[in-house]
Amino acid sequence: MWSYELAAENLEELAGIRLSHVTVGKIANETSGDLETKMDNNPAFRAAFQEANGHTEFYLDGTFVPIRNADGTREWKEMKVAAFIKRLLAMSALPPEWGTRKLPKPTVVYAFASIVCKEDFQERCQVERRRLGVGGISSALGDGAKWIWNIIREVFGKTEECLDIYHALEHVAACGKALYGEGESFLSWLDKMRLVLLAEGFAGMERELQSLEGELQGKSKKTKSQREAVTALLDYLRNNAGRLNDAERVAAGQPIGSGLIEGACKNLVGRRMKQTGAAGRLERANRMALVCSLLYADQWNTYWKNAN
């Protein structure tokens, strides 16, 4: 209730309106319940998205939030988060320049989130796509979770998919630590493999990892965990082989990281719903997610200017 208490204090101090935090919470819940209904018949979001410049990108991820069940118990459930954005292309760059190049900020962001099953969220993506008038997209970005790519294929058909470079490098680093620990040898190997991944994609990684598998084959039992780590990384990358065209995307000025949706999970959802001790009912959590989405994507003013 801390946010409602703060709102009640601000109302009294700044506007001279005295309401209890319980009343503020009730009004917030009722108002958020009206948002989606009004948005269905509100052309402002479609107009804002269509008028923005840039290529259309789609991001999808999930994050777990605490929910209070009817019997009072707490349970962590996955809130799925998605965003349509438009962005201009960056300057062309080489793979080693990936970390220092500057991507233009999105010209428009449209975000949404809810705790529902994969099938229902897939339909939600279709609804939001139609709401914005989105036909095709230039690319879709996400981590290696299969449910993400399944939704993307069902909603958009065949499109350019990109595995988030940060998630890919986390897997590479985990393999490197199994091989070399955390010393200089590990850092040197990680630098090398990062460049191979960025410049050559799966073909280069397959070459390097298969060479490692050969070197480790037949050695002592101590290397079993190392062989398993190499095999696991190779399998992970093989499953995402078509999503590792980082060199081409960097040269074309496209993004290769899904930091935008990671930020949405943290700032759109986490900052409000993962406070210590926080846990809301499922319906309230989904309504709060709608309000947070409008705020996160700077669509709050767009909604209220056209709410009637």
Q: How far apart, in whole angstroms, are the C-alpha atoms of residue 260 and residue 274? A: 19
- Which pLDDT score is estimated for 308? 64
The domain segmentation of the chain, as residue ranges, is: 1-41, 42-160+258-305, 166-243
- Give the side-chain half-sphere CA count within 13 A for 135: 1
- Which pLDDT score is estimated for 222? 64
φ, ψ of residue 84 in degrees (nearest 5): -95, 135
Contact of 258 with 101, CB cutoff 8 Å? no
- Which pLDDT score is estimated for 220? 65
Contact of 234 with 114, CB cutoff 8 Å? no
- Which pLDDT score is estimated for 266? 76
Nearest to 179, CA basis, from 222, 220, 144: 222
- Which pLDDT score is estimated for 28? 81
- Which pLDDT score is estimated for 210? 92
Sign of CA dihedral 273, 78, 134, 85: positive
* Strands of the 139-142 sheet, one edge to the other: 108-114, 74-87, 55-68, 139-142, 161-163
pLDDT values of the chain reduced to their tens digit, one per residue, 308 residues: 677 888 889 999 999 999 988 898 888 878 887 787 777 777 888 998 999 999 999 999 988 888 888 888 888 888 899 999 999 999 999 999 988 999 999 999 998 999 999 999 999 999 999 999 998 899 999 888 899 999 999 999 999 999 999 999 999 999 999 999 988 999 999 999 999 999 999 999 999 999 988 888 766 666 888 889 999 999 999 999 999 999 999 999 999 988 777 777 777 677 777 666 677 788 888 888 888 888 877 788 888 877 66
- Which pLDDT score is estimated for 6? 86
Give the Cβ contact number of residue 89 at 10 Å: 14
- Which pLDDT score is estimated for 225? 86
- Rounded (5°) CA angle 167-168-173: 95
